[in-house]
Structure 1
Amino acid sequence: MNGNRATALEQFITGWYPATSEDPEPSSVQAPPIDLPDGLRRFYRLAQHHPPSLGAQNRLFPASKRQTDPNGEMLVFGEENQGGFFWSVLWTLDGPETDPTVWFREYDEPPIAEQEPLSGFLIQFSLYEAAMGADYVALSGRLTAQQVDQCTEGLRPVPLRPFWPWAPTRFYAAPGLVLHVSDEGDDSFSIWAGATHRSVLAPLADATVEWTQFDG
């Protein structure tokens, strides 16, 4: 796994999610198997002390719950909350790739490669789920590009290619805030911002946006 990305992922997860304990986890939470890709092993080690990082809307399976697809060709490691799609990496007997392609697949459709390999995907997944599970959120849909620019002004864009083939999604961040913008097609966008404190959302109130929910 790219060292800079691994460091960024660790800094985000440990900064966003309070550690549940400094003691070893119960026996039900197993250490990550050594035959997993490096990025997943690192992620699972973080999740042992930060379990919410496994997901709020969608989820990554705990290391002990990993599974293969029916053909035994792919290691399935995550899914949508209602099982509508899943994420996987290629499973080989020669050992895992260092930073493999992540495949998005609806059950009856051909797989689609995520634009970022595993190292970038895990950052994107973590940002997305942090926003979705935040205590304070702001969300709106059917926005124009100009409205998106208003909402993201002053935020730092995360330098990764879009996440999630269903609705290509980009991320922006500020201290205590994660905001993601999804392209819904037809020049329309949706926004979801998640914050660690209500006051962090306050600057978004200045945007000319009709919010579906606004906790600021």
Structure 2
Amino acid sequence: MQNRILPVAKHQTDPKGEMLVFGEENQGGFFWSLLWTLDGPDADPIVWFRAYDEPPIAEQEPLSGFLIQFSLYEAAMGADYVALSRQLTGQQVDRLTERLPPVPLRPFWRGTSTRFYVAPGLVLHVSDGGGENGFSAWAGATHRGALAPLADIPIE
């Protein structure tokens, strides 16, 4: 597992005591949290991303959308069958995603603007790292046959 949502019993406050940490990166470099209040969180609160020595940054989606994106990201990263390509152009990304429905949420991972595309048994996430060939793509599938929609696209 790349990252994890913590069970309620493991929730803790951040180092400043301002946020309730509910998710973390597998190596402990960053975490996700909710604003810590005595009244408890809103019904669909803002999720805050924070590297341990940086100020918190609001995720683009509230908790409901964030959890969908988090689950899709982890499903792709932990899949038994994967395909990965780095340094893609915008045209290559268009070809790669043209037959896959996009997940209708704002980008995940604010710094890399990750978007998701899905098909039966397949999750593809495309990240924009900036620059001319700044895109990368990662596809995770439950079965290698689920990667078939990507097979005839001329991308290394």
SS in 1 for 2:126: strand
Taking the aligned partners of 1:104 and 1:147, their CA distance within structure 2 comes to 30
Taking the aligned partners of 2:125 and 2:55, their CA distance within structure 1 comes to 26
- Asked if residue 203 in structure 1 is aligned to residue 143 in structure 2, the reply is no
- Superposed, which structure 2 residues align to 1:134-145 within 5 Å? 134-145=79-90
Taking the aligned partners of 2:139 and 2:55, their CA distance within structure 1 comes to 31
Could you tell me which amino acid in structure 2 is paired with residue 202 of structure 1?
A
Shift of 1:200: 0.9
Could you tell me which amino acid in structure 1 is paired with residue 5 of structure 2?
L
Structure with the greater alpha carbon radius of gyration: 1
Could you tell me which amino acid in structure 1 is paired with residue 128 of structure 2?
D
Of the candidates 113, 138, 144, which is equivalent to residue 192 of structure 1?
A: 138
- Superposed, which structure 2 residues align to 1:97-176 within 5 Å? 97-176=42-121
SS in 2 for 1:116: strand
Shift of 1:166: 2.9
- Asked if residue 86 in structure 1 is aligned to residue 48 in structure 2, the reply is no
TM-score by length of 1: 0.70
Contact 2:34–2:45 under 8 Å retained in 1 = yes
Which structure features the higher share of helix residues?
A: 1
Could you tell me which amino acid in structure 1 is paired with residue 18 of structure 2?
E
Q: Deviations over 1:5-30 (max 9, x none)?
A: xxxxxxxxxxxxxxxxxxxxxxxxxx
TM-score by length of 2: 0.96
Structure 2 residue runs without a partner (length 5+): none
Q: Deviations over 1:128-166 (max 9, x none)?
A: 000000000111100001111111121110000000123
Between 87-96 and 124-133, report the one with greater CA deviation: 87-96
Shift of 1:96: 1.7
**Structure 1 segments of 4 or more deviating over 4 A?**
none
SS in 2 for 1:156: coil
Taking the aligned partners of 2:82 and 2:40, their CA distance within structure 1 comes to 41
Shift of 1:72: 2.1
How much identity, in percent, do the aligned residues show? 78
Taking the aligned partners of 2:21 and 2:116, their CA distance within structure 1 comes to 25
Taking the aligned partners of 2:155 and 2:25, their CA distance within structure 1 comes to 29
Structure 1 residue runs without a partner (length 5+): 1-55, 211-216
Taking the aligned partners of 1:110 and 1:57, their CA distance within structure 2 comes to 23
Taking the aligned partners of 1:113 and 1:88, their CA distance within structure 2 comes to 10
Which structure features the higher share of strand residues?
A: 2
- The count of aligned residue pairs is 155
Taking the aligned partners of 1:58 and 1:90, their CA distance within structure 2 comes to 20
Could you tell me which amino acid in structure 1 is paired with residue 141 of structure 2?
A
* 2:22 corresponding residue in structure 1: 77
- Asked if residue 57 in structure 1 is aligned to residue 2 in structure 2, the reply is yes
Shift of 1:203: 2.2
Shift of 1:70: 2.4
Of the candidates 93, 96, 107, which is equivalent to residue 41 of structure 2?
A: 96
